[in-house]
Amino acid sequence: MQKGNSYQISCFKKTTLFIIISLFYFSHFVNAQDANPIKVKMSENIFQKGDTINFEINSSDSLDLRSASTLHLWIEEIKTGRKWHYRYPFINGFLSADLKVDSIIEAGNYAFNFSLQKSFFSLRGEVLETEKKINFLTYAILSKTNQTLINLVQLNSKNAFNISNTLFQDSAFIVFSKPKHNNNDLKIKIETPLDSAFNPKDIVTAFVTIDIKTDSIKIPSVKINDYAFTLKNDVYKTILPEVVVNSKSNREIEKFEQENVSGLFAGDAIVLDGLGSDEMSRAGDIYNYLLSKVGGLKIQTDNENGERFLTWRSKPTDIYIDEVRLDKTMEINVNPADIAMIKIFRPGESVSTGSGEKGAIAIYMKTGQYKKPSSMTNSFYILGYTGLDSFWK
């Protein structure tokens, strides 16, 4: 991430993804009148397998978009009501994005509902139950594109703060800490207004038919005038789920691993369970906890910045949080009580290019149904923007 044009930007670009689908038939827009604040242009009206849906959104001259906004896309299957939600950065009144469609999408009629929200990603927070006055917090945002932003945010007289104009792709992990402190005894609450209900400045709807191109299946045409899209609370996807689980299962960690571990991280490793045991949550410091569990690990201190780091066989060990590599200049500043599982890959077991000889430690945080109430909360998942080259599945 870097700062530029008053936005904190994190590697936001089109990525290469390959998905297949057959699309046939596209009908006109319902309300894309010239007087509308936004105008939508689709690339074609017929798509073949391997094609990409491209759409361009422009704002009208009457719309004041001196600040960045957000463009939501809700795709709704007309027959079943099933919805998909994407959101894009709408900067300087323009958006061009590609959406590739996966082969699992069912044949049928779909409504593409484009909705304009005149606000950009921001995060509001408050430090709770602090004994001493804190003037600043350090925060680190770790994105899935392996970009990292480390910055300071000032607290007001009520220990509240605001982080605005931040752009990152997909989801990210944000960690708060006190400047120049190794402990993480913080209890923070946050909210992201972008994920709340809002009154759209404009909604434009287009209709697309997905067809598998066989003589045996006929897709009926959609009656455009019979369709109406409404924004309801159930179309929003919460990014900070808080579901309390009252019972534990011996297989809970196995279920968690199946749901959250991917790629080379699914290989053989030492697994430390933070769900089925309270031992990890009682640990006061993640570094000392790891040293007590893994022979060969050592703690080193950087002479320049005073930050701690782990070594294995005298070489710095790669640290991953939710499969995102931690920057080497950052400490593992997470609360052990918020960790669901740790996978230890010994030297020789590679999870990424160049990591095999020095080993790797993959930390997975509690989320969703696995996240329990905690007396300290200083780390959160946050949901950013859809990539400009993404897919529909």
Beta bridge partners of 86: 73
- Answer yes or no: do 354 and 387 share one domain: no
Where are the extended beta strands (E) located within 121-201? Answer: 122-128, 136-143, 148-154, 160-164, 166-168, 171-177, 187-191
- Answer yes or no: do 196 and 288 share one domain: no
347 within domain boundaries: yes
- Answer yes or no: do 366 and 388 share one domain: no
Residue type, 373: P
213 within domain boundaries: yes
- Answer yes or no: do 130 and 202 share one domain: yes
Query: pLDDT value at position 184?
Result: 63
Beta bridge partners of 16: none
Query: pLDDT value at position 193?
Result: 82
200 within domain boundaries: yes
d(CA 109, CA 243): 35
Residue 105 is classified by DSSP as: S
234 within domain boundaries: yes
Query: pLDDT value at position 283?
Result: 76
d(CA 76, CA 12): 26
- Answer yes or no: do 52 and 147 share one domain: yes
- Answer yes or no: do 42 and 173 share one domain: yes
Do 120 and 86 form a contact (C-beta atoms < 8 A)? Answer: no
Closest CA to 201 of 120, 274, 266, 117: 117
Beta strand 160-164 pairing with 122-128: antiparallel
pLDDT digits (tens, 9 = 90+) for 9-58: 444 554 322 222 222 233 333 333 445 788 999 887 666 666 788 999 99
Give the CATH number, domain containing residue 335: 2.170.130.10
Range of the domain at 266: 252-372
> Alpha carbon 279 to chain centroid distance?
29
Do 88 and 385 form a contact (C-beta atoms < 8 A)? Answer: yes
Query: pLDDT value at position 12?
Result: 58
Residue 292 is classified by DSSP as: H
Our count of domains for the chain comes to: 2
Beta strand 53-59 pairing with 94-101: antiparallel
Query: pLDDT value at position 65?
Result: 59
pLDDT digits (tens, 9 = 90+) for 198-251: 788 889 998 888 776 655 455 556 666 678 887 764 444 333 333 233 334 458
- Answer yes or no: do 347 and 226 share one domain: no
- Answer yes or no: do 293 and 347 share one domain: yes
Q: Which residues of the chain have pLDDT under 50?
A: 1-6, 9-11, 14-34, 216, 233-249, 375
Query: pLDDT value at position 95?
Result: 94
d(CA 190, CA 206): 35
Written as six digits, the tokens of 363 are 């930390």
Query: pLDDT value at position 232?
Result: 62
d(CA 37, CA 98): 22
Query: pLDDT value at position 28?
Result: 33
- Answer yes or no: do 206 and 268 share one domain: no
- Answer yes or no: do 35 and 155 share one domain: yes
247 within domain boundaries: no
d(CA 337, CA 184): 11
- Answer yes or no: do 186 and 197 share one domain: yes
Written as six digits, the tokens of 199 are 């009154």
Q: Which helix (H) or strand (E) holds 280?
A: helix 279-282
Beta bridge partners of 2: 9
- Answer yes or no: do 366 and 379 share one domain: no
- Non-local (6+) Cβ contacts of 296 within 8 A are 312, 313, 346
Do 159 and 126 form a contact (C-beta atoms < 8 A)? Answer: yes
